[in-house]
């Protein structure tokens, strides 16, 4: 993403949550710098798609880290530790009846099909991680 695309993206995301960017030039520059540090390696459209998904379920303006995590979660580029955390969240949301099946990466979905949804111990985590690492 270019810096011009980033500024347009940040302004769009702020508008999605009906928020205003800071008024002073220095404060606005700091906001753009923070978003650039975390989102520069993601395409503009992918960033906006992650923001769209968040807008449907989040009340508050997301941080750039939240948007990047959402992007990584849905594109399957999670680290094994992040995938384990997502696995636990999915397991809990299924048990609570609040799970949305569109919010899962293909790699994590394949891993869950292989290991099931009954894992919770340290040995289970090790098994999950090994399976996730060998799943494409």
Contact status, residue 51 vs residue 62, Cβ threshold 8 Å: yes
Percent of the chain whose pLDDT exceeds 70: 97
pLDDT at residue 76 in the model: 67
Helix residue spans in 17-121 (DSSP H): 25-39, 44-55, 64-75, 80-96, 106-115
pLDDT at residue 77 in the model: 75
Q: What is the C-alpha separation between 80 and 75, in angstroms, rounded? A: 14
Indicate whether 95 pLDDT > 90.
no
pLDDT at residue 102 in the model: 62
User: pTM of the prediction?
Assistant: 0.63
pLDDT at residue 129 in the model: 94
Q: If you write DSSP's letter for every residue of 86-101 in order, what string do you get?
A: HHHHHHHHHHHT---T
- The domains located in the chain, with CATH, are 3-75 (1.10.8), 80-134 (no CATH)
**Residues 6+ away with beta carbon under 8 Å from 132:** 80, 83, 84, 107, 108, 111
**Residues 6+ away with beta carbon under 8 Å from 49:** 71
DSSP symbol at 103? S
């Amino acid at each position: 993403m270019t810096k011009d695309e980033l500024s347009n993206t940040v302004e769009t995301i702020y508008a999605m949550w009906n928020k205003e960017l800071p008024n002073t030039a220095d404060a606005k520059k700091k906001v753009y710098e923070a978003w650039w540090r975390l989102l520069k390696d993601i395409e503009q459209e992918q960033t906006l798609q992650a923001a769209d998904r968040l807008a449907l379920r989040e009340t508050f303006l997301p941080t750039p880290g939240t948007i990047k995590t959402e992007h990584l979660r849905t594109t399957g580029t999670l680290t094994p530790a992040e995938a384990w955390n997502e696995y636990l969240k999915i397991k809990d949301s299924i048990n609570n009846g609040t799970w949305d099946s569109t919010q899962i990466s293909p790699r994590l979905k394949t891993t869950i099909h292989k290991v099931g949804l009954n894992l919770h111990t340290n040995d289970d985590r090790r098994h999950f991680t090994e399976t996730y690492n060998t799943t494409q």
